[in-house]
Amino acid sequence: MDEQLRERLIASRAAFAGRFISVTVDEVELPDGRAAMREIVHHPGAVAVVPLLDDGRVIMIRQYRQAAGKVLWELPAGVLEQGEEPESCARRELAEEVGQAPGELVHLFSTYTSPGFSTELIHIFLARGLRGVAASGEPDENIRAVPVALSDAVEMVRRGEVQNAAAVCGLLAADAWLSPAR
């Protein structure tokens, strides 16, 4: 049945190549034979980490995002480097952004962020048994780490205060994973 939904690539043209992403304009043949254009953002993939402290707080970050035009509540996160495994990226980003190394790293799930136009697959992890390490953030990042009780962070999601999709999904998934009913 799914084969009847597939689109066939006819042609692809490079439209942009940047530091992290590239864009192609693809011509596809729809299942009914008609042609359509698809603008595709090619992304190497990313990770986001829910860092859980021993006292039940999670380390969230505050960061200004130019595309959104405001400071957002987020989780430590970052883009996969060429050939890098998601777990290695999660460990690297956790150290760089909040100066923590996990004793345990649990892969909660992976999800496409916006599959209508992007190939980005983000891997969400829960980090426990944290220990402090030297933070070594990127020179163009200006972030502030803020410990928040997981229950408060989930309420912030429900109130619409957390608008970063990876943070919303990660916090809700971590809360569900950690609940006694799991």
- Secondary structure of residue 10 in the 3-state scheme: strand
Paired tokens of 151: 């229950």
Provide the CATH topology of domain 46-178: Nucleoside Triphosphate Pyrophosphohydrolase (3.90.79)
The angle that helices 165-178 and 150-158 make with each other, rounded to 10 degrees, is: 130
Predicted pLDDT at 181: 58
Residue 75: how many CB atoms within 10 A of its CB? Answer: 30
Would you give per-residue pLDDT tens digits along the chain (182 residues)?
A: 788 899 999 999 999 999 999 999 999 999 999 999 999 999 999 999 999 999 999 999 999 999 999 999 999 999 999 999 999 999 999 999 999 999 999 999 999 999 999 999 999 999 999 998 987 767 777 899 999 999 999 999 999 999 999 999 999 999 999 997 54
39 part of the active site: no
**Which is the catalytic residue, given 39, 81, 138, 141?**
141
Domain with CATH 3.90.79.10 in the chain: 46-178
